[in-house]
Structure 1
Amino acid sequence: MPLTVVITGASAGIGRATARLYARRGADVVLVARGEGGLEAAADEVAALGGRPLVRPADVADPAQVEAVAEAAEKELGPIDVWINCAFSSVFAPFDEITPEEFERTTQVTYLGFVNGTRSALTRMLPRDRGTIVQVGSALGERSIPLQSAYCGAKHAINGFTSSLRTELLHRGSNVHVTVAQMPGVNTPQFTWVRSRLSRHPMPVPPVYQPEVAARGVLYAADHPRRKQYYVGGTTVATLWANRFAPALLDRYLARTGFGSQQDDGRPPTGLDNLFEPVDRRPADDQGAHGAFDDSAHARSWQETLVRHPAATALGAGAAVLGAVSGIRRLTSRAA
């Protein structure tokens, strides 16, 4: 029987790219997001690639809507095998320029949306004693950067919540698994339609990876969920090691470079904003999986290859440490 997979945030970016990969496996894919234009386009892609789509528009910040998604998925497609939490929102601005309502909304979607999805998935998986939940996390959930305080706080919260849940599942001896795929900067439409108070177009911190790299990491995590987390992209690994070795130095470096590195000099702000309402309401509004940075985004990652080949793990760990040490040296010279 085909897998039944629920993907939140499936209308664009990493969620959209992940839906395509599952479709190629012939899976039944439940596509969840607010933007119906993006969802319908994603459903067409899933069907064309060999999967069976089910479109369920929903705001993951509302637990009742998320529960309705789970009910419809099992009624129409059968037991849920994999639940992938990927939906999020954000605000690009210094903290003192973010309103309480904006901060709350980002937290509701980016953190509580994951909690709501996990709850609905567990309600069905625990009695069957099987199933996998993948949280699409971020390197920013362990190493925060400026201008994204709400998003970074939410991603940190996901890590804490998931670690707590994992210990509860271990205590029960449950065969339900939960894991986190930690992401680097990814070329998604997020940077086109995020709420921003920056003077220039928001952009991911370079180097930037294509959504397909992230999606392959999500799929691998779902296929091998016994590890508590997976790092996608060599920069994710190097950043986390650098943060462990020299967090204060990294603070100083990000204070100097973090504002400029998240703004594109060549593009003005778009004026689009999906924080409270979707921007892809019609098929013509569909953004696909990719954002505006195809020219500079990487389609491959050496670290991804190492993760898929256990014999190379030691080599990869050594390379990550060397990369971190090299990075710290560069930070020292720049922050001096």
Structure 2
Amino acid sequence: MPQTVVITGASGGIGRAAAREFARRGDRVGLVARGRTGLEAAAREVRELGGEALVAEADVSDHEAVHTAAEEVERHFGPIDVWVNVAFTSVFAPFTEIGADEFRRVTEVSYLGFVNGTREALARMIPRDRGTIVQVGSALGQRSIPLQSAYCGAKHAVNGFTSSIRTELMHDGSNVHITVVQMPAVNTPQFSWVLSRLPKHPQPVPPIYQPEVAARAVVHAARRPRRKQYYVGASTVGTLLADKVAAGLLDRYLARTGYDSQQTETDVDDDRHANLWAPADGDGSEGGEKGRDYGAHGIFDDSSHDRSAQVWLSQHARLAWSASAALAAAGAAAAVWAARRTT
């Protein structure tokens, strides 16, 4: 049955890919972001894939703008069933080279934007006692890396905030669900529009996954919300495990490799458009590139994976465990048979 879905950050990257995945299910999708060009392109894709689309321009750091967007979606499509918080921005630079206003801006979008979206979703879902909120998180929300202090801080905050909300819903016996999908490095346009003070073009730390891998995980989480969280990509799981068992060693490794691994060998373009203060895909009036649609993918298609075995295993944990148990039992039986043959 089609649902009403709101996605923030829907004009590009994971949000854009998630909008397409929901559209394939015939859902009604409210597309929230700042960039008009990307939003309109996303709306066309949603309609072409069999869904319904509504464009709602809003800066998620502005709680009144998010409220207006939510009201508009419900006027057109009815009650919101799923709310997906994706929108973020960042600065690639050592902390000492990030201005106070820049750090605050990243926090307002990448953390308070999730708070604002969650508030609007809960205001509608709690009285109806149904609905799901999906927070698009990151492995960097549990294991920080150099050059992304503002973003890592915001993602850590999202995890703490979400855990608090989850326990409040549990206390109330609510049927509203909230879950986090922790993402790996993803090939999105952010590396082409993020504000960067690095000498070379920024890149995600390999291995890199295509946004469709992340989007499928988001849709799965919306359909089957896990009480705590989902992990996407073996690199996410491996990083978090390493942080638990050898945090000090991982610190030293990241200090040695974290700068080079987040940069290509290509110099940064002088005319690069950053989206910290205005959308890179706006109407041209605020410094963005008029008429440019960045889409879901970044510039790393050639080195990105379009599948993740770990995602399948995490979504089919019982089946995977049963298969492992069956294989173990078969192996044990074979060993017993072999032992008997030799006696």
* TM-score category (smaller protein): over 0.9
Which structure 2 residues correspond to residues 108-187 of structure 1 after superposition, within 5 A? 108-187=108-187
User: Which residue among 302, 311, 314 is the counterpart of 1:307?
Assistant: 314
**Residue deviations 1:126-163 (CA, integer Å, cap 9, x gap):** 00000000000000000000000000000000000000
The residue type paired with residue 200 of structure 2 is: R
The residue number in structure 1 matching 2:63 is 63
Kindly name which structure, 1 or 2, has the bigger radius of gyration based on alpha carbons: 2
Q: Structure 1: how far apart are the matches of 2:101 and 2:234?
A: 35
Structure 2: which amino acid aligns with 1:252?
Answer: R
| TM-score (structure 1 length as normaliser) | 0.92
Any idea what SS the aligned residue of 2:84 has? strand
RMSD: 1.6
CA deviation profile, 1:16-72 (whole Å, cap 9, x unmatched): 000000001000000000000000000000000000000000000000000001111
Residue aligned with 1:32, SS: strand
Note the C-alpha offset of 1:15.
0.2
Q: Which residue of 2 aligns with 1:279?
A: 280
Does 1:23 pair with 2:30? Answer: no
Are 2:237 and 1:237 aligned? yes
* Aligned partner of residue 279 in structure 2, secondary structure: coil
Contact map agreement 2:199 2:267 (CA 8 A) in 1:
no
- What SS does structure 2 have at the residue aligned with 1:265? strand
**Contact preservation (8 Å) 1:7, 1:83:** yes
Structure 1 segment 26-37 matched on structure 2, within 5 A? 26-37=26-37
**Percent of pairs with identical residues:** 66
One-letter amino acid matched to 2:273: L
Superposed displacement of residue 308, structure 1: 2.8
The amino acid of 2:141's aligned partner reads G
Aligned residues: 318
Whether the 8 Å CA contact 1:141–1:153 is kept in 2: the answer is yes
SS, match of residue 272 in structure 1: coil
For the residue of structure 1 that corresponds to 2:291, the secondary structure is helix
Unaligned regions of 5+ residues in structure 2, if any?
284-289, 325-343
2:287 corresponds to: none
Per-residue deviation, 1:315: 9.0
Q: Kindly tell me: are residues 201 and 312 of structure 1, through their superposed partners in 2, closer, same or farther at Cα, counting changes over 3 Å?
A: farther
The unaligned stretches of length 5 or more in structure 1 are 318-336
State how far apart, in whole Å, the 2-side matches of 1:73 and 1:193 are: 28
> How does the TM-score come out when normalised to structure 2?
0.90
Q: 1:175-200 deviations in whole A, cap 9, x for unaligned? A: 00000000000000000000000000
Distance 1:267 1:24 in 2: 39
Farther-moved stretch of structure 1 (241-250 vs 218-227): 218-227
SS of the residue corresponding to residue 165 of structure 2 reads helix
Decide whether aligned partners of structure 1 residues 248 and 314 sit closer, same or farther in structure 2, where only a CA change above 3 A counts: farther
Are 2:113 and 1:106 aligned?
no
The answer on 1:266 being equivalent to 2:266 is: yes
Asked if the contact 1:141/1:154 (under 8 Å) is kept, the reply is yes
Residues 125 and 176, structure 1, Cα contact 8 Å, conserved in 2? yes
